[in-house]
Amino acid sequence: MDTVSFIRMDQGTVEDYALTSRLAREHNDAHLIGNLINGLKLLEGPTLGYKIDRYQHSLQSATRAERDGADEETIVCALLHDIGDCLAPENHSQFAAAILRPYVSEENYWIILHHGLFQGYYYYDKIGKNKDAREFLRGHKYFDACERFCERWDQTSFDPDYDTLPLEHFLPMVERVFKRPPHTFD
């Protein structure tokens, strides 16, 4: 039977946890990519005052990254960088970074983790905040990479007339990145 023997985790056996690990792995293998895409599609809909919705913004960011010569992993990060907007609007960068972390480099994780703060450079002064709030991170080895990500692909991707590639173009890239064995950073 495909059910554990316990009702409290501290009562589980090696066999129980082998079972749950196997079933979770099988489930993730079958559904992770679809769940990611469904999360991305949550960004479709209201433009919230912008000229395009956040789904199109995500596609446009990834399109710009690809056309600018970014590697596949970075393109996927550009596609998914705002995936947390609907579920974690106050900390969407951290949400997206947590999803990506096991599958991407330390650099790309850091970029996604901080991109919201770095985006502030382009508009914080218009909402009464310090546009240089990111400066406390200057000197970090990934500062310049995050600055480039936001300057070239994120803050520029609100153009309804831009020739944006469709989601189907990016799906094989997403599959390749998320089919890699996960890793952690210490």
Q: Please list the rounded mean pLDDT of every run of 10 residues in the chain (186 residues).
A: 91 94 91 96 95 98 98 98 95 98 97 98 98 98 98 98 98 97 80
What is the structure's pLDDT at 183?
87
DSSP letter for each residue of the chain: --S-S-SSGGG--HHHHHHHHHHHHHHHHHHHHHHHHHHHHTT-S--TTSSS-HHHHHHHHHHHHHHTT--HHHHHHHHHTTTTTTT-TTSHHHHHHHHHGGGS-HHHHHHHHHHHHHHGGGTGGGTTS-TTGGGGGTTSTTHHHHHHIIIIIITT---TTS-PPPHHHHHHHHHHHHTSPP----
- Specify the CATH architecture of the domain 38-178: Orthogonal Bundle (1.10)
What is the structure's pLDDT at 186?
65
What is the structure's pLDDT at 95?
98
What is the structure's pLDDT at 1?
64
